[in-house]
Amino acid sequence: MAAASGRDRQGERVIAGGESLGPTVKPAARHRVRTGLRVVERFFAIVGVCALIYHLFFDFGVMVSSSMSPALQGDNALTGDRVIFEKWTGLFRAPQRWEIHQFHTPEGLTVAKRVIGLPGERVSLRKGLLCINGSPVAVPERLKHLRYLPSGNLSKDREVECGTGYYVLGDDSRDSWDSRYEGVLAADRFTGRAWLILGPRSHWGFVR
């Protein structure tokens, strides 16, 4: 009588005549494979969610000019500050005075400047003092070192009306192409607020 199929002592499946069908997959091994696949699946799901959050609420930039020094420093892509710009506050409020915001120039360049004048205000420089609606504006203690130069549309004590836009200036106004030459910016041109400096290590921290 032919031998019935079964298992030999090495755990291989055999059929009549002793022909081997190869080793069986043990339940413990199948469990490890399923567990590994679930870990990989969850890993890629987390990566996807993080990528979506970054795309919706953040942006990354490198400072390649000194126009915002010392707040944001750099003169080339290798040594410039690595900056994270956040977008979420723009979803529920307008830009505030003294914040640094990112926008694109008509030439397609991405730049960052500090908001000075708000919609409905008038901006001027008189005797070296920054004025809003004809009166010197209170400057935060952390920014009292800033000195703006009366050039472009702020020369000769001229006053600029913001209308529905925003007036922006670079912290180092000796080397900044800003609203003095480009005029006010519409709100929809802002793409994010400077939030965190990731590097270099000596300059790490929240943007002020």
Task: Supply the CATH number for residue 159's domain.
Answer: 2.10.109.10
- Active-site residue identified among 65, 66, 67, 179: 67
Model confidence over 178-201: pLDDT tens digits?
Answer: 999 999 999 999 999 999 999 898
89, 34: one domain: no
24, 103: one domain: no
- Active-site residue identified among 65, 66, 69, 113: 113
Q: What band does 11 get if pLDDT is binned at 50, 70 and 90?
A: very low
Domain finish residue from 55, 73, 88: 55
1 part of a folded domain: no
Indicate the DSSP class of residue 25.
P
The domain containing residue 143 runs over which residues? 63-206
pTM of the full predicted structure? 0.78
91 part of a folded domain: yes
Residue 161, H or E segment: strand 159-161
- What pLDDT shows up at residue 41? 83
75, 19: one domain: no
96, 196: one domain: yes
186, 137: one domain: yes
CB neighbours of residue 203 within 10 Å: 18
Rounded Cα distance between 40 and 6, Å, is 36
Q: Reduce the secondary structure of 30-82 to three states and give it as a string.
A: HHHHHHHHHHHHHHHHHHHHHHHHHHHHEEEEECCCCCCCCCCCCCCCCCCCE
162, 118: one domain: yes
34, 99: one domain: no
Q: How confident is the model over 105-124, as a mean pLDDT?
A: 93
Domain finish residue from 29, 55, 81: 55
Question: Whole-number mean pLDDT of the chain?
Answer: 85
Q: Which two tokens stand for residue 100?
A: 């640094």
Total domains present in the chain: 2
1: pLDDT strictly greater than 70 = no
* Residues whose CB falls within 8 Å of the CB of residue 198, separated by 6 or more in sequence, listed in order: 82, 83, 84, 204
Give the residue with greater pLDDT, 49 vs 192.
Answer: 192
Active site residue 67: yes
CB neighbours of residue 200 within 10 Å: 13
